[in-house]
Chains A and B, each alone.
Chain A
Amino acid sequence: MEETQIKQMIERQSLHGSALLDPRCKILLLVCIGFVSYFLAGEVVSLALMLVYGLFIAFGNGGKWALKMIVSYIIVAYLNALLRYVQVPVLSVIMSVFGVTVLKLIPIVMMGLWILRTTYMDDLMVSLQRMRLPQAVTIPLVVMFRYIPTLRIEYRQIRNTMDIRGISDTLWKRVSHPLATIEYILIPLLMRCLKVTDELAASGTTRGLELECKRYALRPIRFSWPEIAVSLLGILFLAVLLFLDQTKIGEIILWRV
């Protein structure tokens, strides 16, 4: 294969639309949503928040995910509304507090996991560096994202051995000796963590990980006009929602059942 062809392959994106925005812009929006979501009391405005950001995500490889979250939002909201017909003292109060909390969480989870899925690690490193965050934050963060999938495989391996050797292999043993079970799982896992750390660190330092040069990602990372426009629009929209929440629109009840 020719070098030009390979270069095209390297520059080819599997992401498009809003997923390609600067990670800083995505994180800014997330933080703002996190702030606003908890203070919105009205049902119409909360739903509007879900729908508009769902649409935003759908324009960046997140269509299915947004739909899933919107549907679950509506289901939870509906169930929560049903609660007022169940008159169990204390419990239904607690349930409704719980329900309301979940409703506040859903938009943030939708946005947060979408950001995780649509952000290249090197883009993230570059934009964190541009935010003047030190290596003390960028390196652990990158290592984490890479290590979490590995943890699952390693956990499986340890459980397999435990099953074969008859260590905490039945539910009964696990329930009756929870601390021993934790120890049997955690100790080999931690031993492995120490080893992986050594190897990763050796591999990283010999490839210049400790250098604090200005980094450049495979994609140009700039906070330019699309990012500025999206951030402004996003924040403006949230401000309008907050404002509407204080007025008549915030009082309309949707889930009357």
Chain B
Amino acid sequence: MKQKLNAKDFILIGVLTALMWIICMIISTIMSVAGPVTNVFYPSVVAIPNGIVMMLLLAKVPKKGVFTICAAIQAILFLLVGAFWFIPIGLVIGGVICDFLVMGRKEITMKSMMASYALFSAIFAFSAICPIKFLQSAFVGAMEKNNIAQEYIDGMLNITSVPMLVVIVAAGLVGGLIGGLIGQKALKKHFIKAGLVSVK
């Protein structure tokens, strides 16, 4: 199992990451337009269709480094389209952690794939939402300068409060689990049946 990644694996990662990236962009755009409340939950929704793609990727290339590379590529893209630097850093850290979780063992299993994907999705949710918390002081400062009423500022502090963040991260975790579950179902129904991949 401990083989080095080769050019073919890199290309597969590139192709599938392109697909995941597009799905992520479409969903996050729709959810941002739909409203700010749905916006903060986009990482958990994105995790569902991407679960299918990620499960296929992990099953097809069961080697160390897949998660990290995939996360690093997405991080670079996030950087290019204007994400706060917290997302790229969070993604890469998440990728490295998950790589050790799944690939640290000898053989990849359905369970370890699912667990690491859910964790990855939770870390993604955390890093996508955390900046709001981070920027709280900047926001408050700006609002005070703009003579916005105190109750507004309190309200804003509320929706970026710690319990809210926990909810969002938990949603990310759940989204990852659902995505992983659906992904593995699709894997069994299609790709394993067609003899394209095999997973223990």
Interface residues of A (CB under 8 A from B): 27, 30-31, 34-35, 38-39, 41-42, 81, 84, 89-90, 92-98, 100-101, 104-109, 111-113, 115-116, 135-137, 139-144, 147-148, 151, 179, 182-183, 186-187, 189-191, 193-194, 196-198, 200-201, 204-205, 209-210, 250-251, 253
Contacts and interface: CB of A to CB of B under 8 A. Distances in A.
A183 B14 contact: no
A79 B99 CA distance: 45
16 contacts: A34-B84, A35-B85, A38-B135, A39-B138, A41-B141, A93-B156, A94-B37, A98-B32, A98-B39, A137-B73, A139-B10, A143-B18, A144-B14, A186-B186, A190-B56, A193-B19
B16 interface: yes
Contacts of B8: 197-198, 201, 205
Interface of B: 5-8, 10-19, 21-22, 32, 35-37, 39, 48-49, 52-53, 56, 60, 65, 69-70, 72-73, 76-77, 79-85, 131-132, 135, 138-139, 141-143, 145-148, 151-152, 155-156, 159-160, 182, 186, 190-191, 196
Query: How would you classify the secondary structure of chain B's contact residues: helix, strand, loop or mixed?
Result: helix
Nearest to A252: B145
B131 A140 contact: no
A151 B146 CA distance: 45
B79 A30 contact: yes
B1 to A, nearest CB: 18
Nearest to A205: B7
10 smallest CB-CB distances across A and B, nearest first, come from A108-B82, A143-B14, A140-B14, A201-B8, A139-B10, A98-B36, A112-B80, A93-B155, A41-B142, A109-B82
Query: Which of B15, B52, B186 gathers most chain A CB within 10 Å?
Result: B15
Nearest to B37: A94
A147 B14 contact: yes
Nearest to A139: B10
B82 A197 contact: no
Given A143-B18, A253-B145, 17 more contacts: A30-B80, A31-B79, A38-B131, A92-B152, A94-B36, A96-B156, A108-B81, A112-B82, A116-B80, A137-B73, A140-B69, A151-B18, A186-B49, A186-B53, A190-B52, A190-B191, A205-B8
B6 A210 contact: yes
A34 B7 contact: no
Given A34-B79, A182-B49, A190-B53, A151 B73 contact: no
Contacts of A139: 7, 10-11, 14
Contact of A141 (B14, B36, B60, B148): B14
A141 B159 contact: no
B172 to A, nearest CB: 19
A181 to B, nearest CB: 10
Contacts of B14: 139-144, 147
Contacts of B56: 190
A136 B159 contact: no
